[in-house]
Amino acid sequence: MLTILTPLMLMLFIPWITPAKRLWETSSATALIVAALSTSWFLFHKIFFLTNLYFLVDEISSPLLILTYWLTAPTLLASQSKLSNEPIVRQRLYIFTIIVLQVTTLLAFMVNSLILFFIMFETTMIPTLIIITRWGAQKERMLAGTYLLFYTLFGSMALLTVLLLFYENIGTLSIFLLKNTMMSSAPHLAPLWWSACFLAFLVKMPLYGLHLWLPKAHVEAPIAGSMILAGTLLKLGGYGILRMTTMMDNSLLPLAAPLIIFSLFGVLLSAILCSRQTDLKSLIAFSSVSHMGLVIAASMIKTNWSITGAMVLMISHGLVSSALFCLANTSYERTNSRTLVLLQGSQIIFPLTAAWWLTAALLNMALPPSLNFIGELSILSSLFQWSSMTLIIAGLSIIFTTSYSLYLFWASQREHLPPHTKLLTPSQTREHIILLLHIMPVLFVTLKPNLMF
């Protein structure tokens, strides 16, 4: 494990010691090498691998660790064109902040102690705030940072209180030990634990109703902020829910029933809201809320198929949603607009980029036999088994998800070409490499879904 974690820690020094002329190439190449090394974690996929008292890698954390490593290089590549015109000190600081964010996210996925997990969970907010407020291009970036800060802190205070209460009653916060001792040692604290954990993680996911910070943060963030938010930071909430549900017995399942129903209605309402968006990044952000609602419902049901489906959907969403934000950024860099009406007709002048748009939109709407489809099929089959009444909400959600995905492609690529878009610069090889790094893993895992199961 240290063989893979150490190179990323060493990457913290690369922005400061690399010559200015080779800064972006060296950082991106190193990130790609580390990402290739991280795929060895697939070997630990079916094993609870406790490396020492502080770190563990198991079937819940290993896919998310690989995803975090894999998205570091595309994040750096996507930021290059916008940041390369800034002073070299700001470029170095930007790369350093991104790597710090990825390291803290990795440590949150790896730690064995719940108090360490809480510390890392909160630490990820600091570099995220810096990226949004320092490098965001819009005038409301400070407001977006305030939304993110207060929503996250509001959810986390209850979690910290319950963690301290548990430590006082049980004497340990080790995940490895709590799996076997928590319910037998303090059954009276279980409902309190359940409520506090899920409040913190549902804000991070986010659950519909607690989601107001997410579209604002996505719209105001630079491309790196949007990619990391969609790719890995939202998965911290899903990881927390999956980790906590393994520690709880089935006696708490009745408490989850209202939350499952509400999250399913959130999936439907988010999909309807996507069909009414005019801002490209806002539409993709609301689609994330819709997908995460399915993950929440699946995690609560707590069957083998639902947990597997939740994990598969989180991985596929991390890659596909990040690819959609990259595509939105390529349009924004050329037109300085995210309004769908002003972006229509791009297929005529950017045919290869339009092919990437079509692929990402089809993956986002879970076209068979894509990875999204495998995840959603597992989740929906678990939901139908839990209650046949979920068929109505799930069916409507699928219809609206298909409609907004096709609307996204049609509104941004088809129709008549506006006059101002006829003199745009052509797409670059770097942008196609970024999209290949997103779509290629999805297609590979689709061919071998056992890696996720």
What does the pLDDT look like over 11-31, one tens digit per residue?
A: 888 889 988 888 999 999 999
pLDDT score of 394 more than 80: yes
pLDDT score of 52 more than 70: no
Instruction: Give me the mean pLDDT over the 307-322 stretch.
Output: 93
Burial of 7 from C-beta contacts in 10 A (0-12 / 13-18 / 19+) = middle
Q: Count of alpha carbons within 13 Å of 311, Cβ hemisphere only?
A: 25
Please give the single-letter amino acid code of residue 303. T
Residue 170 confidence (pLDDT): 78
Q: How long, in residues, is the chain? A: 453
List, for residues 290-308, the tens digit of each pLDDT value: 999 999 999 888 888 999 9
pLDDT score of 317 more than 90: yes
Residue 191 confidence (pLDDT): 76
Helix (H) or strand (E) holding 352: helix 351-364
Residue among 218, 243, 237, 266 nearest 57 (CA): 243
> Would strands 49-50 and 56-57 be described as parallel, antiparallel, or unpaired?
antiparallel
**195 phi, psi to nearest 5 deg:** -65, -45
Looking at the fold, whether 89 and 128 belong to one and the same domain comes out as yes
Q: pTM of the prediction?
A: 0.93
Q: Of 248, 277, 300, which residue sits at a domain end?
A: 248
Q: Of 199, 229, 248, which residue sits at a domain end?
A: 248
CA atoms of 401 and 349, how far apart (whole Å)? 28
Residue among 194, 102, 105, 210 nearest 152 (CA): 210
Q: Which domain holds residue 291?
A: 250-452
Looking at the fold, whether 180 and 311 belong to one and the same domain comes out as no
Looking at the fold, whether 262 and 164 belong to one and the same domain comes out as no
Instruction: Give me the mean pLDDT over the 395-411 stretch.
Output: 90
pLDDT score of 395 more than 80: yes
Taking a C-beta distance cutoff of 8 angstroms, is the pair 441, 71 a contact?
A: no
List, for residues 223-245, the tens digit of each pLDDT value: 998 999 998 999 999 999 888 87
Looking at the fold, whether 414 and 284 belong to one and the same domain comes out as yes
The residue assigned the tokens 């040692």 is 185
CA atoms of 367 and 425, how far apart (whole Å)? 32
CA triple 144-147-149, angle to 5 deg: 110
The 10 Å CB-count burial string (b at 16+, else e) for 225-238 is: bbbbbbbbbbbbbb
Q: Of 248, 283, 309, which residue sits at a domain end?
A: 248
Handedness of CA 241, 242, 244, 249 (dihedral sign): positive
pLDDT score of 144 more than 60: yes
Confidence band of 139 (pLDDT split at 50, 70, 90): confident
Confidence band of 387 (pLDDT split at 50, 70, 90): confident
CA atoms of 300 and 387, how far apart (whole Å)? 13
- Which residues have a Cβ under 8 Å from the Cβ of 103 and sit 6 or more positions away? 8, 9, 12
Looking at the fold, whether 264 and 240 belong to one and the same domain comes out as no
Looking at the fold, whether 59 and 104 belong to one and the same domain comes out as yes
Looking at the fold, whether 149 and 39 belong to one and the same domain comes out as yes
Give the number of other CB atoms < 10 A from CB of residue 428: 13
**339 phi, psi to nearest 5 deg:** -75, 125
Q: Which two tokens stand for residue 55?
A: 């770190």
Residue 438 confidence (pLDDT): 94
Q: Which two tokens stand for residue 349?
A: 């002048």
Looking at the fold, whether 178 and 276 belong to one and the same domain comes out as no
The 10 Å CB-count burial string (b at 16+, else e) for 135-169 is: bbeeeebeebbebbbebbeebbebbeebbeebeee
Q: Left (φ > 0), alpha (ψ -120 to 50) or beta: where does 58 sit?
A: beta
Please give the single-letter amino acid code of residue 430. R
Residue 93 confidence (pLDDT): 94
Number of domains, the chain: 2
Residue 303 confidence (pLDDT): 86
Considering only 55-69, 175-189, 322-336, which range has the smallest mean pLDDT?
175-189
Looking at the fold, whether 388 and 424 belong to one and the same domain comes out as yes
Most confident of 144-158, 246-260, 283-297: 283-297
Confidence band of 62 (pLDDT split at 50, 70, 90): confident
Looking at the fold, whether 415 and 361 belong to one and the same domain comes out as yes
Residue 435 confidence (pLDDT): 94
Looking at the fold, whether 131 and 104 belong to one and the same domain comes out as yes
CA atoms of 233 and 101, how far apart (whole Å)? 9
CA atoms of 219 and 225, how far apart (whole Å)? 10
Looking at the fold, whether 40 and 149 belong to one and the same domain comes out as yes
